[in-house]
Amino acid sequence: MQATNPLKQYFRQPAVYIRLPSQGKNYAPGTLNASATGEYAVFPMTAIDEITYRTPDALYNGQATVNVIQSCVPDIRNAWAVPSTDLDTLLVAIRVATYGHEMDFATTCPACKTETEQALDLRTVLDRMLPADYSRTVHVSDMEIFFRPLSYQNINDNNKMQFESQKLLQAMPDDGMPDSDRVTALSDALKKITEITVTALSQSIAAIKTPQALVTEPEFIQDFLKNSDRQVFNQIRDAIIELKTNSEMPPLSLTCPNCQNRYEQDLTLDMTSFFAPAS
């Protein structure tokens, strides 16, 4: 029988409690310990968590984000399954729990080009995060299309494929390459990017209902997107983009201290800087 650690009372304690924008929906069975109150405890990062976020390979393959979320929000048992609607809320809450609610960031006024450091209360960011309405469907001809948010696994896999495709484009020499080879290489790279786009769109579709069937098989949905006409494809794509935009963090409203110009700036969760210790 293992003895109880007498130091357990000194272990880290929850610092923040949050409600998930998804309300716990869109999680696969066994990936989330559902809360009866709808609130989830967020613990500060450990020293090991901070080291993980400084490991380039772990950041690139997504394992750093997965490890830190599961460490700091233990009710999430598999962070790869976290829907995109909850991801930013979780990361902001973990930063608040670890370093406090204030974060300094650099900004440049688009009017007078003055560079300043401003303080942001991340609690206001959490309060402004609203879920997109994934219950809304789109009707195309006699089809009804149901959507779902991408999982973190989907997002990470697609980002890695996009990165590899961009590297292929950047690796093409500016000169010395025969035109025919250049056209072939460019065509292959653009084809790969198109395939990534179709894959991401198909992963955002939960089901397609027709008068004859309810189609949920990913391979059938992807095949449909590849063979649909331009108008149908664009209608589905635009609906998915709108849902994604509605679930993203709203831009910050800022005022330049030099010229009083009011402008907006996006808050980007760059993992290498977002989880740097607060000054």
Same domain? For 157 and 87 the reply is no
- 108 located within any domain: yes
Query: pLDDT per residue over 109-159, tens digit each?
Result: 999 999 999 888 999 889 888 778 899 999 998 999 999 999 999 999 988
Give the mean model confidence (pLDDT) for residues 44-64. Answer: 85
Q: Which residues contact 187 (CB under 8 A, 6 or more apart)?
A: none
Domain that holds residue 195: 138-246
> What is the pLDDT confidence band of residue 276, given thresholds at 50, 70 and 90?
low
- 1 located within any domain: no
Angle, CA 153 vertex, CA 239 and CA 267 arms, to 5°: 65
Same domain? For 30 and 75 the reply is yes
Quote the mean pLDDT of the chain. 88
Same domain? For 156 and 253 the reply is no
- 47 located within any domain: yes
pLDDT score of 279: 43
Q: Of 199, 173, 198, give the one whose Cα is nearest residue 186.
A: 173
CA dist 184 and 88 (Å) reads 39
Same domain? For 116 and 226 the reply is no
- 6 located within any domain: no
Give the mean model confidence (pLDDT) for residues 28-36. Answer: 93
- 163 located within any domain: yes
Same domain? For 16 and 74 the reply is yes
How far, rounded to the nearest angstrom, does the alpha carbon of residue 158 sit from its chain's CA centroid? Answer: 11
Q: How many other CB atoms are found less than 10 A from the CB of residue 63?
A: 16
Query: pLDDT per residue over 195-243, tens digit each?
Result: 888 999 999 999 999 999 999 999 999 999 999 999 999 999 999 999 9
Cβ contact 154:205 at 8 Å: no
Same domain? For 100 and 178 the reply is no
Same domain? For 117 and 15 the reply is yes
- 164 located within any domain: yes
- 4 located within any domain: no
**pTM for this predicted structure:** 0.84
Same domain? For 93 and 107 the reply is yes
- 88 located within any domain: yes
Same domain? For 17 and 91 the reply is yes
Q: Name the domain count of the chain.
A: 2
Same domain? For 213 and 161 the reply is yes
Same domain? For 156 and 111 the reply is no
Same domain? For 124 and 61 the reply is yes
